[in-house]
Structure 1
Amino acid sequence: MKLTHTLFLIRTVNSFGWSAAMPFFAIYLEVERGVGLGVIGAAYLVSGLLSLCGQLLGGWFTDLFGSKSVMLTGYTSSIVSSTLMAYMLWAKFNVLPIILLYVGFSFFRALSNPATSALIASQKQRTQIASGFSLQTMGGNIGFGLGPAAGGILSERLGYPSVFALSALAASTALALALVLIRFDELPRTDLRVRGGSKPKLSGLLPKGKETLGFLGVVVVLFYVDGSLYTPLSLYSAGFIHLSNQEIGLLFTTNGLLIAVLQLPLIQLLERSGWINYAPTLSAILMASAYIAVANTHSFEAYIVAMAVATVGEILLTVPTQLMITALSGPSNRGAYQGYYSAATSTGRTLASFITPITFLVFNPPSHAWYVVGIVSIVGGIAHLAVHGGIERTESYPEETARNPK
Structure 2
Amino acid sequence: MQAVTRKGMWLVAVANGILLFGYGLSLPFFTIYLISQQHLAPAMAGLVVALAGLSRCVSSAISGELADAFGRKNVMMWGLFSQIIAMFSLALCIELNAQAGWMLTCYFFTTFLGAFFRPAANAWVTDHTTPKERVEAFGMIRIGLNIGWALGPAVGGFLVRYSYSVAFYFTALLYATTILYLGRLIKDRTSKKGARRRARKPSFATMLSSLTDTRLARICLYVVMITAVNSQLVVGLSIHCKQYLQMPEYFIGWFFTINGLVVILLQQAASKWMSKHRLSTAMFWGCIAYAVGFGSVGFFSSFALIAVGVFLAGVGELIVSPGEQTMVSNIASRETRGRYLGLLMVFYNMGSALGFFVAGLLGDWVAPHYLPGPWLIVASVAVLAGIGFWRMRYQLTDDEDGKQTAPIPIKKDTITLH
TM-score (norm: length of structure 1):
0.84
- Contact in 2 for aligned 1:18/1:109 (Cα 8 Å): no
Structure 1 position 337 matched with structure 2 position 344: no
Structure 1 position 58 matched with structure 2 position 63: yes
- Contact in 1 for aligned 2:156/2:167 (Cα 8 Å): yes
Q: State the partner residue of 1:178.
A: 182
Structure 1 position 311 matched with structure 2 position 285: no
3-state SS, counterpart of residue 260 of structure 1: helix
Shift of 1:291: 3.9
Instruction: Sort the Cα spacing of 1:189 and 1:396 in 2 relative to 1 into closer, same or farther, 3 A.
Output: farther
Q: State the partner residue of 1:404.
A: none
Of the structure 1 ranges 63-72 and 165-174, higher mean CA displacement relative to structure 2 is found in 165-174
Aligned positions, number: 396
Of the structure 1 ranges 81-90 and 309-318, higher mean CA displacement relative to structure 2 is found in 81-90
Shift of 1:337: 1.2
AA paired with 2:79?
Answer: G
- Contact in 1 for aligned 2:157/2:250 (Cα 8 Å): no
Of the structure 1 ranges 297-306 and 215-224, higher mean CA displacement relative to structure 2 is found in 297-306
AA paired with 1:171?
Answer: Y
Shift of 1:26: 5.4
Query: Which of the numbers 144, 154, 169 marks the counterpart of 2:173?
Result: 169
Shift of 1:167: 2.3
AA paired with 1:13?
Answer: I
Q: State the partner residue of 1:274.
A: 277
How does 1:34-183 map onto structure 2 within 5 Å? 34=38, 36-37=40-41, 41-89=46-94, 93-151=98-156, 154=159, 159-183=163-187
Instruction: Sort the Cα spacing of 1:80 and 1:355 in 2 relative to 1 into closer, same or farther, 3 A.
Output: closer
Deviation string 1:64-122 (CA, Å, 9 cap, x unpaired) is: 21112211111211222233444555566544233312211221121121110111111
By relative contact order (CA 8 Å, sep 6+), the higher-ranking structure is: 2
Gaps of 5+ in 2: 403-407, 412-418
AA paired with 2:269?
Answer: P
Distance, in Å, in 1 between the alignment partners of 2:297 and 2:193 is 43
Query: Which of the numbers 379, 384, 387 marks the counterpart of 1:379?
Result: 384
Distance, in Å, in 2 between the alignment partners of 1:28 and 1:175 is 28
3-state SS, counterpart of residue 391 of structure 1: coil
Instruction: Sort the Cα spacing of 1:176 and 1:247 in 2 relative to 1 into closer, same or farther, 3 A.
Output: closer
Instruction: Sort the Cα spacing of 1:39 and 1:294 in 2 relative to 1 into closer, same or farther, 3 A.
Output: closer
3-state SS, counterpart of residue 128 of structure 2: coil
Of the structure 1 ranges 44-53 and 1-10, higher mean CA displacement relative to structure 2 is found in 44-53
How does 1:361-372 map onto structure 2 within 5 Å? 361-362=365-366, 364-372=369-377
Instruction: Sort the Cα spacing of 1:23 and 1:247 in 2 relative to 1 into closer, same or farther, 3 A.
Output: closer
Distance, in Å, in 2 between the alignment partners of 1:105 and 1:62 is 20
Structure 1 position 21 matched with structure 2 position 22: no
How does 1:292-311 map onto structure 2 within 5 Å? 292-298=295-301, 300-311=303-314
Instruction: Sort the Cα spacing of 1:187 and 1:270 in 2 relative to 1 into closer, same or farther, 3 A.
Output: farther
Shift of 1:379: 1.7
Q: State the partner residue of 2:405.
A: none
Distance, in Å, in 2 between the alignment partners of 1:74 and 1:220 is 24
Gaps of 5+ in 1: 402-406
Q: State the partner residue of 1:346.
A: 349
Distance, in Å, in 1 between the alignment partners of 2:165 and 2:362 is 36
TM-score (norm: length of structure 2):
0.82
Q: State the partner residue of 2:258.
A: 254
